[in-house]
């Protein structure tokens, strides 16, 4: 393995000089910089990230903390898009990411988690979908030991940023659009909400309440827990009485739609997320589409900024509306 020492010898300079051009220090003359870079190219030298980390006490490693439920297809897709977006951008930013599942740190204390990350010399963490009840994670955020970026959770402090799409606006938009496109006046709206302690659930709820007030709709809110089955059952109970059914996720929208089919009634249904799976379910509905890969990429940029010494901030990512339909062929 070719090391910085070899480069120094080859270029006829000292080790520290090589290190300086490597790390873009200001005080190096163009002439020696050129010599060093040539030596690097000739030898095919790549800095040893491990040694650099040990020496500088900064690893540039960030952990992707993700909530994978192996039971749910839709979750797979969302997680995968998050992961691929994050990992791709990480390469560009020259950060090193490792993936950690929520399940691996459940029933661990704050101290254990901190030590785990420290032993891995991780200095940045991106948490996807922390919910209100993840108390240990909240403690971790408050401890400010690591640079943290929260996706879809609204906590900020000096070393914590959050990035998310405006859930309220997205939910508002998709309902408004659906109603405007509809042919007859809607009166009663059934809203099937997401998991109770998820921050996104609250934002989306506010969105549907806002549009309901504006359009003078009578709203029934039920707890769907992001479960297709729950959404189905709720629809069987209350779907008949509603003029429009709005769900806080595409998966629940599938459940609702299937229930309506069984009941042989038709009402428009709104989803949320914009997952490909919808194309296979053979149904049409409007949805608020989130670009998960872009969100994750943005989160990585944010953690990179924090690692460089930046302050925590809030980042809002845009959303789009989409009419999902039966796709004859996906690929």
Partner DNA sequence: CTGTTAGCGCGTTCAG
Partner DNA sequence: CTGAACGCGCTAACAG
Contact set with a copy of itself (CB under 8 A): 1, 44, 46-51, 53-54, 59, 68, 70-73, 76-77, 79-81, 83-84, 87-88, 91, 96-101, 103-104, 111, 115-116, 118-121, 227-229, 232, 251, 254-255, 258, 276-277, 279-282, 293, 328-331
Asked if 193 contacts 231 with a C-beta cutoff of 8 angstroms, the reply is no
d(CA 291, CA 273) in angstroms, rounded, equals: 8
Binding-site partner at residue 41 among DNA, a copy of itself, none, CB < 5 to 8 Å by type = none
Residue 219 CB partners (closer than 8 Å, separation 6+): 188, 189, 190, 191, 208, 209, 212
In the DSSP assignment, the letter for residue 135 is H
Across-strand partners of 124? 62, 147
Output 208 or 283, the one with its CB closest to a copy of itself: 283
Query: What is the widest separation between alpha-carbon atoms in the chain?
Result: 83
CB 197 to a copy of itself: min, Å: 18
Task: Give the pairing of strands 320-324 and 285-289.
Answer: antiparallel
In the DSSP assignment, the letter for residue 107 is T
Output 44 or 107, the one with its CB closest to DNA: 44
d(CA 139, CA 44) in angstroms, rounded, equals: 44
CB 204 to DNA: min, Å: 44
CB 15 to DNA: min, Å: 5
**Phi-psi region at 174: left, alpha or beta (left = phi > 0; alpha = psi -120 to 50):** alpha
CB 51 to a copy of itself: min, Å: 5
Q: How far is CA 282 from CA 96, 129, 245, 287, in A?
A: 40, 28, 18, 15
Binding-site partner at residue 17 among a copy of itself, DNA, none, CB < 5 to 8 Å by type = DNA
Residue 294 CB partners (closer than 8 Å, separation 6+): 85, 317
CB 2 to a copy of itself: min, Å: 9
CB 319 to a copy of itself: min, Å: 19
Which residues form the interface with DNA (CB under 7 A)? Answer: 1, 3-5, 12-17, 19-20, 22-23, 26-29, 31-33, 45, 47-48, 51-52, 54-58
d(CA 202, CA 292) in angstroms, rounded, equals: 19
Output 179 or 193, the one with its CB closest to a copy of itself: 193
Asked if 162 contacts 149 with a C-beta cutoff of 8 angstroms, the reply is yes
Binding-site partner at residue 221 among a copy of itself, DNA, none, CB < 5 to 8 Å by type = none
Output 31 or 331, the one with its CB closest to DNA: 31
Binding-site partner at residue 309 among a copy of itself, DNA, none, CB < 5 to 8 Å by type = none
Binding-site partner at residue 291 among DNA, a copy of itself, none, CB < 5 to 8 Å by type = none
Binding-site partner at residue 20 among DNA, a copy of itself, none, CB < 5 to 8 Å by type = DNA
CB 152 to DNA: min, Å: 34
Output 236 or 321, the one with its CB closest to a copy of itself: 236
d(CA 288, CA 265) in angstroms, rounded, equals: 24
Mutual angle of helices 292-307 and 73-93, in 10-degree steps = 40
């Amino acid at each position: 393995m070719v090391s910085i020492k070899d480069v120094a010898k080859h270029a006829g300079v000292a080790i520290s000089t090589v290190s300086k051009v490597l790390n873009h220090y200001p005080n190096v003359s163009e002439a020696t910089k050129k010599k060093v870079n040539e030596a690097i190219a000739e030898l095919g030298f790549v800095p040893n990230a491990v040694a650099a980390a040990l020496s500088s006490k900064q690893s540039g490693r960030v952990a992707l903390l993700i909530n994978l439920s192996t039971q749910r297809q839709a979750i797979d897709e969302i997680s995968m898009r998050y992961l691929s977006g994050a990992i791709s951008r990480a390469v560009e930013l020259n950060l090193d990411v490792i993936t950690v599942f929520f399940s691996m740190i459940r029933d661990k204390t704050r101290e254990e988690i901190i030590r785990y990350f420290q032993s891995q010399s991780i200095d940045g963490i991106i948490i996807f979908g922390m919910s209100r009840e993840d108390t240990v994670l909240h403690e971790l955020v408050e401890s400010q030991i690591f640079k943290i970026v929260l996706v879809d959770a609204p906590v900020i402090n000096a070393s914590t940023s959050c990035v998310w799409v405006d859930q309220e606006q997205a939910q508002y938009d998709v309902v408004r659009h659906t109603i405007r496109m509809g042919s007859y006046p809607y009166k009663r709206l059934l809203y099937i909400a997401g998991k109770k302690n998820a921050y996104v659930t609250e934002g989306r709820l506010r969105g549907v309440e806002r549009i309901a007030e504006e359009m003078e709709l009578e709203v029934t809110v039920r707890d769907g827990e992001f479960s297709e089955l729950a959404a189905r059952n709720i629809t069987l109970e209350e779907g008949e009485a509603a003029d429009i059914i709005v769900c806080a996720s595409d998966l629940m929208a599938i459940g609702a739609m299937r229930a309506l089919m069984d009941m042989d009634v038709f009402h428009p249904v709104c989803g949320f997320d914009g997952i490909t799976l919808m194309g296979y379910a053979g149904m049409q509905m409007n949805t608020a589409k989130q670009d998960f890969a872009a969100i994750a990429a943005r989160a990585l940029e944010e953690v990179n900024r924090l690692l460089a010494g930046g302050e925590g901030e809030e980042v809002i990512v845009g959303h789009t509306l989409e009419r999902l339909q039966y796709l004859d062929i996906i690929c």
